[in-house]
Amino acid sequence: MAGRRTPRPRLPSRLELREQVAELVAQQAAMSEVLRAIASSPHDLQPVFETILDSATRLCRVESAALRLSEEGGARRVAQRLAPDAAARWTGPPTLAPRGTFLGDLATRKTALHIPDIAQHESYLRGDPTVVAGVDLAGLRTQLSVPLLKDDHVIGYIGLARRRRQPFTDREIALVTDFARQATIALDITRRERELRKVQSELARANRVAILGQLAASIAHELRQPLTSLAANGDAGLNWLAMQPPNLGQAKRSFEAIVADSRRANSIVNGLMGLTKKKAPRKECLDINHAIMEVAALIQSEALKNGVSIDTRLAPRLPPLRGDRVQLQQVILNLTVNAIQAMSSLSGSKRELEISTERTENGVRVACRDTGPGLTPESLDRLFEPFYTTRPDGVGLGLSICRSIVQAHGGRLWATAAEPNGALFQFTIPADQGPGADQEP
Ligand SMILES: Nc1ncnc2c1ncn2[C@@H]1O[C@H](COP(=O)(O)OP(=O)(O)O)[C@@H](O)[C@H]1O
Ligand SMILES: [Mg+2]
């Protein structure tokens, strides 16, 4: 191409070019590594901080690196790197660098601070405790700090230090600034994620308590049966013992019935307590069939009251699932109560609720089928929308909560028409892939 001749600066040598390209590639790789850490651990910041410090230490060739977050009293260290030769003589500055100290006050500084030789800096000369040890024991000289800025607020900083006196280049400062941005983004994502999860889990609990409230009368009724039977069997047992001679065989049978009744009452109370307790969601290994049976016990009386028969077809030898038992029970509770409510709106037809489980290629499918009025095309479209309800006393949150619970477990929840009539809700939960989990060959 023909162009005007302008004096050009000296062209970098091939070797210099190669070095620059290699540096850029390394920086790119470090950035994507941090992004990966953010994506793979949205709930846990520690791996993100560690990755940032690893990259910063390596790419800027420093002997000391720390990430500190601002708090009321100063700057709290959340991650640190110290080269072995520095660490041999010094454990690093305090975890909480208080306000009024050099490291503590960096937590309020909005711009980067680059000090080519900290041994000449006023903080060292006035004997600042967070600086002196680093210089005297670990021999740190050149230092750089870059703030983590969120909406013009300093939420922390990345601090780096070298043992040799060698100023940081513009490119290094730009790189650390990018790392600081990534750390800020990660902090923000985690905070939002936490808030969202808190709201979701409070909403889910409110929904659970509301549904159990609707079932309260039926559950009380369900409990009355074993309690009445306990008293009757107790009386009978006493009578068998009072006979001359006592009829020990019959007495034993009465006591066995007492044990069975109290187990039944206990399991209802346990199921109820489990669903109402305020517990942080957790992942545990669970038997989905067992979880379903507990829910079935809770809705038994409600079903009877509405003339609904419950049929459970639970597949044996399902793979183990990892999940929150209470939340999955809530899904089953919502689906079955919806089914009972839908069927009770019909008069005269047969009312059957079938809960079944089945092994799938990579987990378990749970199905809840009813013989109610089924789903209109409009409701099929909108069922899972929050606040969509066709019931006069409905809130319309049940199914949307169910869907987010199932999705949080890596599964899927959907609805179709059941044959010949009624609705069919199904959800899948992938099997636990963890070590020791039962896996198909
Ligand atoms: N088994 C079912 N059969 C027919 N319609 C159903 C069934 N389950 C849910 N629905 C429909 O979906 C709507 C939303 O359900 P849900 O989110 O649980 O809220 P709510 O129970 O408060 O109405 C219900 O109002 C109803 O119209
Ligand atoms: Mg509902």
432 lines ligand 1 (CB under 6 A): no
pLDDT reading at 79 higher than 90 = yes
Q: Look at residue 37 in the predicted model and tell me its pLDDT.
A: 83
Q: What is the whole-number distance in angstroms between the Cα of residue 327 and the centre of ligand 1?
A: 18
- pLDDT at 318 exceeding the cut of 80: yes
Does residue 346 come out as left (phi exceeding 0), alpha (psi in the -120 to 50 range) or beta?
beta
CA 362 to mean position of chain CA atoms: 22
Question: Is the pLDDT at 398 greater than 90, yes or no?
Answer: yes
Select from 344, 382, 383 the residue to mutate for testing ligand 1; criterion: most ligand atoms less than 8 Å from CB.
383
Instruction: State mean pLDDT over 62-80.
Output: 95
| Ligand 1 binding pocket includes 378 (Cβ within 6 Å) | no
pTM: 0.69
Please work out whether the CB of residue 386 comes within 6 Å of at least one atom of ligand 1: no
The residue among 88 and 79 whose pLDDT is bigger is 79
CA of 329 to the centre of ligand 1 (A): 17
Q: Is 391 in the pocket of ligand 1 (CB under 6 A)?
A: yes
Compute the 3-state secondary structure of the chain and give helix, strand, coil in percent, each to the nearest 5: 50, 20, 30
For residues 307 and 78, give the distance between their C-alpha atoms in angstroms, rounded to a whole number.
60
Whether 48 is in the pocket of ligand 1, judged by its Cβ within 6 Å, is no
Inform me whether the pLDDT recorded for 413 exceeds 90.
yes
> Quick one: pLDDT at residue 441?
35
Of all protein residues, the one whose alpha carbon is nearest to atom 5 of ligand 1 is 375
The predicted structure's pLDDT at residue 277: 80
Using the predicted structure, report yes or no on whether residue 345 has a pLDDT greater than 90: no
Rounded distance from Cα 205 to ligand 1 centre (Å):
19
CA-closest candidate to residue 130, choices 163, 162, 166, 90: 90
pLDDT at 365 over 70: yes
Per-residue burial over 379-412, b if 16 or more Cβ lie within 10 Å, else e, is beeebbeeebbeeeeeebbbbbbbbbbbeebebe
Q: Is the dihedral of CA 56, 60, 66, 70 positive or negative?
A: negative
List phi, psi (to 5°) of 307. Answer: 65, 25
Q: Which ranges in 243-287 belong to alpha helices (H)?
A: 248-276
Write down the pLDDT at residue 227: 92
396 lines ligand 1 (CB under 6 A): yes
Which pLDDT does position 438 carry in this prediction? 44
Task: Indicate if the pLDDT at residue 440 is higher than 60.
Answer: no
- Is the C-beta atom of 354 inside 6 A of ligand 1? no
Residue 2, pLDDT > 70, answer no
Cα 410 to middle of ligand 1, angstroms: 23
Q: How far is CA 396 from CA 275, 324, 342, 380, in A?
A: 20, 23, 14, 14
Mean pLDDT, rounded, of the chain? 90
Ligand 1 and 402: CB distance under 6 A: no
Residue predicted with more confidence, 433 or 246:
246
- The stretch 263-280 carries a mean pLDDT of 82
Domains and CATH numbers, the chain: 18-195 (3.30.450.40), 281-441 (3.30.565.10)
Query: Residue 425: pLDDT above 50?
Result: yes
Tell me the ligand closest to 392's alpha carbon.
1
The pLDDT value given to residue 27: 85
Is 38 or 363 the better-scoring residue by pLDDT?
363
Q: How many residues comprise the chain?
A: 441
Query: Which one is predicted more confidently, 332 or 349?
Result: 332
| Cβ–Cβ under 8 Å, residues 355 and 310 | yes
